[in-house]
Structure 1
Amino acid sequence: MSQRTLPLLFFNLGGEMLYILHQRLHAQNVVTGKTARVMQDMVKTMFREQSLEELFKPQPIPSRKGLQMLLQGVAHSSIMRLSNTAMDKLYDLISMAFKYQLMVCPRPEDIVLVTLNHLDSIKSLVADDSQHCHDMIHTACRKLNEHYSLLSKAEFVTLRNTMLSLFQDSQKRISVLMRQKLQHQNGAFVIPIDGPIPVGFEIPGTIRYYSEEGEVVQTDHFPTAHHYTPPCKQGSWETTGDRVTTLGLNIYEKDSPGARPRQQRSVSEERCGRTRGTGGSSRMKETREDTQEDVSTAVGNVELTLLHRLLVSPQTDKETTFKLNLFPDLKLDGGGTGSPGDESASGRETSERNRGNVLHLETNKKGTEDLNRIREDFTTADTEQHAADEEDLLDLLDQATA
C-alpha cells in the first residue's frame, strides 16, 4: 500500500501550497489578470496529462526531500521564484496542515474526501473562464476515484499509517490551528472525542444479547463518558458532490468552513501531550533521519525524477520572471542583504520575531498591515536581512501589478 500514497500526498500538499500562494497574491491586491496567470500556470503543471499518468503509477513512498522537490517544481512553473529557505519553511507549514487532517479523519478512507476537498478548492482558485483547468482537475478526480475505490478498509488503514510515518517528526506550531484551539503549545494536535461518530458505526452504550439462533433477545443500555451523536451522511466520491467533511478546505480564507473552531470536546492537554503528541521518543528522533532516506528505493527515485522533469515547465522569459520572497527575514540564496529601504517597506517589527518556531498566518487584517502580519508567519529565531538581489514581498507584488 505504500506504493499508492504519492497521489494523495501530492494533491493534498499541493493544494495547501496553492492556498497560501493565492492568499498572498490577494493580500497585496494584485491585478486579477496577474493572479489568474500565476494560479493557472501552477494548476496546469500539477494536472497535465503526462504528470497524472506518472503520478498514479505504483511507486514507493518518496522522501520528504523528494516531495519538496516536486512541489518546488510546481511553484516555479509560473513567473514566481522562491528561495530554497522560503520553500523549506513553506513545506513545514503545508506538511503540518496535512498531518492534522490525517490525524483527525474519522475513518482512514475519508482521506479521499479530504483530497477531493482540496481539488474542489483548487478549482475555485482559478478563473471561472479557465475551462481547460477545470477539465484537468475533473480528470484528476476521476483517476482518484478509480485508483482508490476498490481498496479495503485495512488497505486504507495502511495508507494512512504510511503517510503519518512520513511526518512523524514534524511538530511545528501553526498559529491558524492554535487560535482555533486545534493545537497545543507543545505542538500536539487536539483530537476530538465527542460529536458525530464515523459513518457505518453505532453510538456506544448498547449491549445486545443473542440466542443460540443468532436473534437478539435482550438489549441493555449504559451511560458513556462522552456525548456522541449519530453519524453524518456518507460523503460523495464523484467528480462533483457533497464531501460532508470540511477537512481539506481552504482555511486561509476568511469565514471559510474549514477554519471554524470545533464544537466537540477534546482530549485534555495533558493527555494529548502525553499520548497523542506529534513527536516521538528521543530515541525515535535520533534514528529517524537515518531511516528516512531509505524509504524510497532506487526504482522509486528514478520514477520520482521522471515525474519532476514532467512538472518542470519550459523556460520562462527572464523579463517576466520575478522572485517571490515569502520570508524576508531569512538570508536568501546568493547571500547579501537588503537595503534599508527594503526593510522599511516590509515593516520591521523585531520585537515580534523572536517567538520560537510558531508559523503564523494572519487573514483578518486589510492592506499593508495584513501583509506584514502574514509575512511574520514565516519568521525564525535567527533574524537575517534581505539578499541584495531579491526584493521584499511588498515590492515584488507591486512589480507584478505593473
Structure 2
Amino acid sequence: MSMRTLPLVFVNLGGEMLYILDQRLRAHNTSEDNSEKVMNDIVGTMFSKAFIDELLKPQHLYSHRTMKTVLTRLAHASIMRLNPASMDRLYDLMIMAFKYQVFLCPRPKDLLLITYNHIDTIRELVKDTPTVVNTVDETHRKIIETYSRLSDGEFQLLRQTLLIFFQDIHVRVSLFLKSQVQNPNGHFVLQTSGPVPHGIDVPGLIRIFDCRGKGVRRCEFPSGGSYTSPIREGSLDLRGDRVTKLGTNMFTTEHPEETHTSKTPSVKTDDSPNLLAKEELNLLARLMGSMKAQNTAKDETGFQINLFPTDQEEEAGASGGAHESSFGVVNIQAMQDEQAATELARIAGEFAEEEAAENTCSSKGDDLLAMMDDL
C-alpha cells in the first residue's frame, strides 16, 4: 500500500464535490452571493495550510467510512447543509467520477494530470477571492514538490492502492450510461485501442535473449486490440481527447439529470445492522465532534439544500433492479440453531477485523476533523 495516496484522493474527490455542488447550486437558482460564499468557504478550508501540511504527511489511505465523514465535514464548512441522502449520493458521484478518470490514465504518472486539472478548475471557481486563490496556488506548489520526486515504481504502487480503494464499487451514473462508458451492471467499459503510453512498446512482440543479453529470437502474438505508436513526450498530443478528460468537470447545468445515480450497491457500509453497531456509532460520533458540531450548525444562519430529487431517483433505480441479483447476498435465518450461530460468529469476526484495521487511521482522521473545526 502506498503511503502517498491520501492527498491525491482527498484533492480529487474534493474537486469532484465542488463540480457537483456548483452545478446543483446553479440548477436550484441559489443566489450568487450564497453560491460564492459556499465555494470560498469549502475551498478555503480544503486548502488551508495547516490542513494540507497534515494531509501530505506519509500515512495510510482512509477507509470509505472515514473518508466520507471527512468530506461531509468539508461540505458543511460553509453555510450550506446537506441531508444524509444527498450526501450519500454526492459521495457516490464523486467516487465514480474519480474512478473513471483513473481508468483513463494511460500510465500511472498521469494520475497527477487528474489532480492538476482539478486544482486548475477549483482555482477558476474562486478566482474573485485572491486570498483563497493564494491557498490553492500554495497547495499546487506543495503537490508538485511532493510527487515530482516519486519514481515510476512508486506511482505504480499508488495506482494499485487506488484500484483497491475503488474495488467492488459499481454505482450506475446516468451520465456514464448515456455515454456508453458504463455497462448496466455498473462496470466501466475499458478500451483496448489507441496510443500506448510514452516509453512503452506496442504489445504483440516477445523478445527472447540469451545469458549474455543478446537477442536470439522473437515471436509475435495477437494483442487483442488496435494500438498505435507511443505518444512523443512533450508533444501537444500528450493531452489528447482521452487525457484531457482527466479531472475536467463532466457535470453541467444544462443537463442536471446527469448527476443522477441508480440504486445499485454503493459504498454505504454503515446502513446494514451488525453486531458492532454501537462501536461504529461511537466512532462516528468521535469523528463528527458529537453534539458540539450540531450546536454550532444550529447557531449559523445557513440554508438547507436537497441536491438530488429523491422520488425521481427511486424511479430511475427501479429500472435497474434486475441487475441487483448478480451481487452476492448472505441470508441469515433468525433461528436459534447451531448453523445460524456459527454464521453470525463468522460475520462478527469479519466486522472486528475491519474495525481493527480502520482504527489504525481513525485517530488521523480525528486529527484532521478537529483541525477542520478550528478552521
Q: What TM-score comes out, normalization by structure 1 length?
A: 0.62
Alpha-carbon distance between aligned partners in 2 of 1:75 and 1:357, rounded to the nearest angstrom:
31
Measured after TM superposition, the shift of residue 66 of structure 1 is 0.9
* Matched-pair contact (CA < 8 Å) for 1:17–1:94: yes
Alignment CA distance shift 1:355-1:213 (3 Å): closer
1:172 matched to which residue of 2? 171
The answer as to whether partners of 1:113 and 1:235 remain within 8 angstroms in 2 is no
Q: In 2, are the aligned partners of 1:235 and 1:242 still within 8 Å (CA)? A: no
Q: Structure 1 regions of 5+ residues with no counterpart?
A: 260-277, 280-284, 291-300, 331-347, 359-402
Q: Which has the higher helix share?
A: 2
- Distance in 2, Cα, partners of 1:349 & 1:139: 39
d(CA) in 2 for partners of 1:350 and 1:76? 25
The aligned counterpart of 2:148 is: 149
Task: Give the equivalent residue in structure 1 for 2:306.
Answer: 325
**Other-structure match for 2:318:** 354
Runs of 4+ in 1 over 4 A off after TM superposition: 205-225, 233-236, 241-244, 314-319, 348-353
Tell me the equivalent position of 1:24: 24
Letter of the 2:250 counterpart? I
Q: What residue ranges of structure 2 are gaps of 5+ in the alignment?
A: 259-263, 275-282, 323-375
**Is 2:38–2:79's contact at 8 Å kept on the other side of the alignment?**
yes
Identity %: 43
Answer yes or no: is 1:14 the counterpart of 2:14: yes
Distance in structure 2 (CA, Å) of the matches to 1:91 and 1:245:
23
SS at match of 1:3: coil
Paired residues, number = 294
Partner of 1:53: 53
Q: Which residue of 2 aligns with 1:397?
A: none
Equivalent AA in structure 2 for residue 230 of structure 1: S
SS at match of 2:3: helix
Amino acid in the other structure paired with 1:324:
I
**Residue in structure 1 matched with residue 225 of structure 2 by the alignment:** 226
Structure 1 CA distance for aligned equivalents of residues 221 and 66 of structure 2: 51
Q: Give the corresponding residue for 2:128.
A: 129
Residue 70 of structure 2: aligned partner: 70
Shift of 1:216: 8.1
- Cα distance in 1, alignment partners of residues 225 and 21 from structure 2: 40
Say if 1:185 and 1:115 are closer, same or farther in 2 by CA, change over 3 A. same
Matches within 5 A, 1:259-270: none
Paired amino acid for 1:192: Q
* Structure 2: distance between partners of 1:357 and 1:37: 40
For the structure 1 residues 222 and 351, does the alpha-carbon distance in structure 2 shift closer, same or farther, using more than 3 Å as the test? closer
Q: Alignment partner of 2:18: what SS?
A: helix
Mapped to 1, the partners of 2:105 and 2:66 lie a distance apart of 25
Change (3 A) 1:317 1:124: farther
- The letter of the residue matching 1:82 is L
Deviations for 1:128-171, whole angstroms, at most 9, x for unmatched residues? 32222222112111111121122222222221111221221211
- Residues 94-105 of structure 1 correspond to what in structure 2 (within 5 A)? 94-105=94-105
Structural mapping, 1:3-402, within 5 Å: 3-126=3-126, 128-205=127-204, 225-234=224-233, 245-253=244-252, 318=299, 320-329=301-310, 354-356=318-320
Alpha carbons 1:235, 1:245 under 8 Å: kept: no
Question: Cα gap change, 1:210/1:179 in structure 2, threshold over 3 Å: closer, same or farther?
Answer: same
Deviation at 1:349, TM superposition (A): 9.5
- Taking a change above 3 Å as real, the CA distance of residues 55 and 163 of structure 1, as seen in their structure-2 partners, is same
TM-score computed with the length of structure 2 as normaliser: 0.66
Q: Would you say the 8 A contact 1:3–1:59 is kept in 2? A: yes
Tell me the distance in 2 between the aligned counterparts of 1:162 and 1:212: 35
Distance in 1 (CA, whole Å) between partners of 2:192 and 2:164 is: 23
Q: Residues 61 and 218 (structure 1 numbering): CA distance in 2 closer, same or farther, change over 3 Å?
A: closer
Is the 2:101–2:245 contact (alpha carbons within 8 Å) kept by the matching residues of 1? no
C-alpha distance in structure 2 between counterparts of 1:162 and 1:4, whole Å:
10
Distance 1:172 1:353, change over 3 A: closer
1:222-247 CA-partner distances (Å, limit 9, x unpaired): 886532223335479xxxx9795421
Alignment RMSD (CA, Å): 4.1
* SS of structure 2 residue aligned to 1:228: strand
